[in-house]
Amino acid sequence: MDFADGFLEDDPIDMQSGPSPSSRMTKVENARAEPFRYVCSIEATFDQEVYDFAFNKYARQGGALSRSVKMTGSGFVISPHHVLTAAHVVNGWKTKTPRGRQDSIQAAQVRVTPARRPSANPGHKRGPFGVWKVKRIMTPNQAFSLLKIPTGQTMSQLLLKSRAFDFALLEIKPKRSAGGGVRQLGYAKARGSKVPLGWWCRSGENAIKRTYSGNARNDLRKRRINVAGYPYAETRWDQMYKGFDDVQNVRKNIIEHEIKTRHGISGGPIWTFDGRRPKPRQLVAISVGKWGRTPKYALSVQGLSQGSIFHIDFVKFLKDRIDPQYLCFV
């Protein structure tokens, strides 16, 4: 067991025991270990000026407004061909729309780097499994259907209404190998290794937890959760961080916790670990940020981090787009 940093990933006993929870996030020293190898750094580039969903201001690059705008976040490999992330990581708001409307726009280019690690050269994108381009972005209609309403409402208000659908599925473009074959993300290998990257459900220890019933949600309220991702504010999105905490609340389709997440964690996985279960590591949500920090409009306790759980519409969205052999719902 590794209790040195208070992280429960290696705790083989029930999530109710072990070290006391901490809101502090710490560095992941070995990003190639299970399950961190599936966590990705995501860079989204827009071809026009956009508002960043994560900040109530213009997205900026190099400190100035630009026609080519970058936003960053996290995600994780959920099939050999797909990465799951938060919708607001790869979507922005158009800055010029007809009066009384706010329309969303997808990123023109998205790059995904699994198990990314720091480099001495900021311009060098390091990752043992390479950097991959996104072929297609799939976002549920509910995520941004509320954007076409009067702009008098704040961004926080808009996001709070659609946060349970703040997810997007990224289809990864295959690569051509030197021999003329095709390489898929999930089968990529690090240099000198015979073990492919894999995806969340390929490991026999992992599952995805459906949270349809009241009993399932009550059980989740008693658990501790693990979080991982790439906070931009800490290391410019090349160092993975992890954290754990007791679940503070489950309301409707949102889970809430006190881990001090930062911009860039959005889209990262949230999971539980219970050594007594056949599949001890269960994915329960994806991080969607800290919406509702303005007390007047808050739908949650001020400052709590939130995640979208795998509710019935979320599960259907995935099943309609991913071959079921790559999924492992319980």
Indicate whether 16 belongs to any domain.
no
Q: Examine residue 235 and state whether it is found in any structural domain, yes or no.
A: yes
Question: Domain limits at 293?
Answer: 22-326
pLDDT of residue 15: 39
Q: Is residue 221 part of a domain?
A: yes
- pLDDT higher than 90, residue 18: no
- The pLDDT tens digits of the residues spanning 1-12 come to 222 223 334 333
Residues 220-236: pLDDT tens digits? Answer: 988 999 999 998 755 56
Computed over every residue of the chain, the mean pLDDT equals 78
Structural domain contains residue 14: no
Amino acid at 133: K
pLDDT tens digits, residue range 262-279?
A: 778 999 999 999 877 778
| Residue 7 resides in a domain | no
Taking only the tens place, the pLDDT of each residue in 172-200 is 999 987 777 888 999 999 988 999 999 99
pTM score, whole prediction:
0.84
Let me know if residue 274 belongs to a domain: yes
Burial of 238 (0-12, 13-18, 19+ CB in 10 A): buried
Rounded CA separation 198/79 (Å): 8
Residue 42 pLDDT level (bands cut at 50, 70, 90): very high
Instruction: Report how many domains make up the chain.
Output: 1
Say if CB 257 and CB 305 are below 8 A apart.
Answer: yes
Please report the pLDDT score of residue 124 as a whole number.
Answer: 52
Give the CATH number of the domain where residue 221 resides: 2.40.10.120
Does residue 95 fall inside a structural domain? Answer: yes
Distance CA 274, CA 324 (A): 25
